[in-house]
Chain A
Amino acid sequence: MRIRIRLFARLREIADSGDLERELGEVATAEQAWQVLAADFPALAEYRTVVSCAVNEEYARFDTKLHDGDEVAFLPPVSGGRDPGPGIRRPGEFGMRDQ
């Protein structure tokens, strides 16, 4: 299947594009789309634990099954305030580096 991948902010900069297409197997999930992308752009790999994903413009889990023509978006941590509150994951906890 062929899918469209959207990237934003820091992820877009790493891939030098916010709009890509990739060929996946007949059965694939959002996770596999990410892995294919991370293979092409190794600098993406470390963001896996803090990235959210959306399939066809709706938030989705990484185990969501994809279909031909789907649009998968990978979203870096959003621009929340400095204190998102207890229990909320922060990029710093996962070794993300500022530029």
Chain B
Amino acid sequence: MDRSATCGVYTDRMAEAAGSTRSSRDERQARFVVTFDRLDATRTAAAVERPECGAVTTFVGLVRDHNLGRRVRYLDYECYEPLAVKAFERIAAEALAQWPGAHLAIAHRMGPLQIGEASVVISAGSAHRADAFAACRYAIERLKQIAPIWKREHFEGGESWIEGATADPDDAAARQVAVARATA
């Protein structure tokens, strides 16, 4: 992955300010991002703001200092970049189908991350708060199921890969788990 890859910060407002007609490709680049750069939750939130939105929710996943009873020193993330971005797009399409009018922006950081740093930021914009909360929760649950992203945990005394689910976007049961958690 190109370490010079930048967080595609190109919000609706910026596009309007620039007087440009934003293509759908530009919009995807702004909303679905993997980057080695520091994440900015306000930018992710801005990417889903629309005139019809009455609510924007943002989830920020942080690197915490403990896991499985171990003292975590730092995490190192890697991904299959093109497929990760497509997985984000897929998750957004699924959320939009489930909660019409709910739009997502997803940014995930790569590389070594220190304790307290944001590894993932997800924003959901919708007309009403219930759908914005649900779509945001759905996205993080689904991301952990199907996004081709891996983390190596460096803890006091060793290091190991943290592995969860076998990624299968067509697994309807897994998707239902994400929907259930989003609407619990």
Contact = CB atoms under 8 A, between A and B. Distances in A.
Nearest to A78: B167
B63 interface: no
A59 B83 contact: yes
A42 B147 CA distance: 27
A32 to B, nearest CB: 20
B160 interface: yes
Interface residues of A, number: 31
Given A8-B78, A88-B174, A88-B177, A80 B83 contact: no
A78 B161 contact: no
Interface residues of B, number: 36
B145 A84 contact: yes
A28 B98 CA distance: 38
A19 B163 CA distance: 21
A67 interface: no
- Overall SS of chain B's interface: mixed
Interface in B151-184: 151-152, 158-171, 173-174, 177-178, 181
Contacts of B167: 52, 59, 75, 77-78
B80 A75 contact: yes
A91 B165 CA distance: 7
Interface of A: 6, 8-10, 50-52, 54, 57-59, 73, 75-82, 84-91, 96, 98-99
A84 B174 contact: yes
A85 B177 contact: yes
B146 interface: yes
A50 B159 CA distance: 21
Given A54-B83, A89-B166, A84 B144 contact: yes
B148 A91 contact: no
A88 B150 contact: no
Contacts of A50: 166
Contact of B144 (A80, A86, A96): A80
28 contacts: A8-B79, A8-B80, A9-B163, A10-B150, A52-B167, A54-B83, A75-B80, A76-B163, A78-B144, A79-B77, A79-B150, A79-B151, A79-B161, A81-B144, A82-B164, A84-B145, A84-B165, A85-B177, A85-B181, A88-B164, A88-B174, A89-B165, A91-B166, A96-B163, A98-B160, A98-B161, A99-B158, A99-B160
